[in-house]
Structure 1
Amino acid sequence: MSLRNRRAPCPQRRDGGFMSKPQRYSLSRYATWDDVPVYWHDRARIATPFQTPAFLSSWYASLGQQPSVTPLIFEALETGTGRPAALWPLVLEQRGGLRTIGFADGGLMDNCAPLTGEAFPYDAGGFQDLWRSVICDLPGADLLHVDKAPATLKGRPNPFVALPWIRPSAVFRLVLRLPEDFKAYSFSRKTKFRKEQERVWRVFTRHEGAQFENVTDLSRARALFGPFQDYQKQRMAGLNVNYKLDQPVYRQFADKLLEAGLASGAVRLCVLTAQDELAGGLLVLSNGETESLVRICHAPGKWATCSPGRLVLERTLMELHAAGARETDFSIGDFDYKYGFGVQSEPLWALTVPLSWRGQPAWLGTQLRAELKKSPLVQRLRRALRNGSKSMAQDDAA
């Protein structure tokens, strides 16, 4: 099917925008989060912890203020009834010389989704009408790029994944679903892992004043989050990782996030301390149903003997479970330590749509890469390369 047919009923303008739009939904655009109607602050269905008002208000007040970023917050109402359908937290920015529209991400949003209202269409046909409404109302741009879309929204299939040109994302989420009995969960893990966690807790609690704490006071949270960020920076530098969370705009986002979400529980800072010295910490986002573990740190030196990273993670799980949480998202980083806790991988989805002739080469590139990944020959070659790398590593170890 041609690009023009897929875009109907929105004829393309020369500047890459669209002229007409369907009548089932009417759209309004907001330039700041403060302009968003109150409905979306307190009554919307929040699909994941990355769509809470605390997260989005902090994002638009920090990363959204950069000169290269133009906020595009779209509200879709059902025509005739005025019932809220969806709120799309988008931005327009320059990426690789292209004017690109996507979610308010900047490397911080692990699950990209709209906020949904009472008129949100979960059926494929209704959602395509809503999606066309958004596409038709976009300003002039070259590319629409959506990544890390979850397969479900509030426990229901996400109709986004039924759109044309959808493809698996390069990343996936790692999720832990806990039973009602936390002790049963603990004993479901491998004996070696469980015994090691018990041992490092004993080692940690030998330190004077050692404790686990779910920090609720903003001043204390800010005082602890300073060394938290420094430990993360040191760790990433040691791994030679391109680390950007220590840049001023990201530190500003983190501070605003604590201020906006700590009191309501949308943000949690869980720490291990001994006489106010930070040993390990974990930053958690929550939408009341799912907890997302987004940043973790551990102090170097003497604390290494008690594995403070894994320890603060386990103690946080216990705290969250006691508060009623049963689903925890370990975020998108594919690290070995997460699997010891029993996580399961779930796919995320991506979509790229060209909005002008300038965006066509980038779109063709993403489609070609997606098709190549499906090729049995390419899959066999990738498996052979992985197996060869493992054999070389085993030979080196021997």
Structure 2
Amino acid sequence: MTIAAAIESRADAPARSRSSRIARVDLISDLGAVETIWRELETRQLATPYQRFDLLSTWLADVGQREGALPCIVTARDDADDRPLFLLPLVLRRHHGVRIASFMGGKHTSFNMALWDKDFAREATGADLAALLAGLRAHNAVDVLALTQQPRHWQDQLNPLAMLPKQRSVNDCPVLTMVPDDPPTNRISNSFRRRLKSKERKLQAPGYRYYVVNNETDIERLLNWFFRVKPMRMAEQKLPDVFAEPGVADFVRKCCHTRLPGGGHLIDIHALECDDEVIAIFAGVADGHRFSMMFNTYTMSGRSRYSPGLILMRHIIDHYGERRYRALDLGVGSDDYKRLFCKGDEPIFDSFIALTSRGKLAAMAMSGLNRTKRLVKHNGFLLGLAQRLRRTFR
């Protein structure tokens, strides 16, 4: 079966005419040329907060370009009024002569999506996806689309790219679903709350407080602490420190300091501290519907024995529950602490689509590698073996 046929045969594609509304597909390498369209789609978007222009343009300038990534923004316009229907925020890299387009943000975005006009996304069909691929092939600028870590749904609406051939992502994403106006005990049980409050009493000291950081001086102070403590935590776990990679600290700092028009920051920091030390911070992105954690760490002092990260998570969950949020996640991966709060899983998928004959072998290789990684991650014996090998070689 061809890719186009596979797209058309999707059972969950909306029942609409097979003719596509897409009149033109453009590839744009200048971020400035696409900023107006991007910000317009943000105002009527179906996309995650990771796809905000300010966040991804900062990542590209501070991290992506250092890695050799070049902007490759895909836009599609309506056949009736030339209105932008969606925007794919991609970058282009070359590996062994193969041109691979992937989402901006790299390892710093938990979820990747296009920015969709909501009305178009609700009605998009397989014919629209086929028109997108045909338009990309006509440009002959990309060999493979490597579109990873995509949510199947966002805000209860199907992600149209889920109509492309796909496979499950390497990692799952535990998620907590919240119902507005539910009592707090529906988010976190009474028994768990009592255990956390018992631990929290042992943390309390002069000036003890939980808060969402809004003061620019506090943001910088807490980030200085984070970049000092996080490498020690990563070394303790024998894990690489991704925040030490070139440009990452600058990217994080700029996003934490950038204010959103409606309040808050591109990345919000939640903190527990007392007068004599910072105890824990969790930071992430929020959009009025969902909070997604990006990074966290906690103190190296004796207070670490009282589970400050879990206590901070309880505060964060109540904070967003009181604001009628509907979901909260702690990033991809099934770490034990995430399962204490997040009982469900967000379906996440990858698509590896060859656009040229040169890209066919590369797409097959990337697809096979990710399937193997998922197999290892979800098999206790293989995962343990891989972890022992990693520690040995380090």
- Partner of residue 229, structure 2: 231
Give, in angstroms, the shift of residue 271 of structure 1.
Answer: 0.5
Matches within 5 A, 1:320-359: 320-359=320-359
Give, in angstroms, the shift of residue 126 of structure 1.
Answer: 4.1
- Partner of residue 299, structure 2: 299
| Cα distance in 1 for residues equivalent to 2:58 and 2:151 | 22
Query: 2:202 is paired with a residue of what secondary structure?
Result: helix
Change (3 A) 1:56 1:162: same
| Cα distance in 2 for residues equivalent to 1:93 and 1:252 | 22
Change (3 A) 1:383 1:371: closer
- Partner of residue 100, structure 2: 100
Matches within 5 A, 1:1-398: 1=1, 24-41=22-39, 42-66=42-66, 68-95=68-95, 98-117=98-117, 120-122=120-122, 123-136=124-137, 138-164=139-165, 166-179=166-179, 180-185=181-186, 188=189, 191=191, 193-205=192-204, 207-261=205-259, 264-265=263-264, 266-275=266-275, 277-366=277-366, 385=381
Indicate the structure (1 or 2) with the bigger Cα radius of gyration: 1
Match for 2:211: what amino acid? Answer: E
Q: Deviations over 1:119-149 (max 9, x none)?
A: 5344332432453255235553432211111
Q: Is the deviation greater in 122-131 or in 151-160?
A: 122-131
| Cα distance in 1 for residues equivalent to 2:273 and 2:187 | 23
Give, in angstroms, the shift of residue 349 of structure 1.
Answer: 0.7
Change (3 A) 1:296 1:139: farther
Scaled by the length of structure 2, the TM-score of the pair is 0.82
Q: Deviations over 1:279-318 (max 9, x none)?
A: 1001020122111011111011222132111111111112
Q: Is the deviation greater in 146-155 or in 35-44?
A: 35-44
- Partner of residue 391, structure 2: none
| Cα distance in 1 for residues equivalent to 2:308 and 2:84 | 45
| Long gaps (5+) in structure 1 | 8-21, 390-398
Contact 2:147 2:352 in 1 (8 A): yes
Q: Deviations over 1:334-378 (max 9, x none)?
A: 10011111431122111112244443333233555688999xxx9
Contact 1:262 1:268 in 2 (8 A): no
Change (3 A) 1:286 1:350: same
| Cα distance in 1 for residues equivalent to 2:163 and 2:228 | 42
Query: RMSD across aligned C-alpha pairs, in angstroms?
Result: 3.2
| Long gaps (5+) in structure 2 | 8-19, 386-394
Query: 1:120 is paired with a residue of what secondary structure?
Result: helix
Contact 2:35 2:53 in 1 (8 A): no
| Cα distance in 1 for residues equivalent to 2:94 and 2:383 | 39
Scaled by the length of structure 1, the TM-score of the pair is 0.81
Contact 2:149 2:348 in 1 (8 A): yes
Match for 1:199: what amino acid? Answer: S
Match for 2:352: what amino acid? Answer: T
Change (3 A) 1:372 1:67: closer
Query: 1:317 is paired with a residue of what secondary structure?
Result: helix
Q: Deviations over 1:177-226 (max 9, x none)?
A: 1232342225636x2x3332111211112x11111111112232022111
Give, in angstroms, the shift of residue 151 of structure 1.
Answer: 0.7
Change (3 A) 1:312 1:130: farther
Number of paired residues?
367
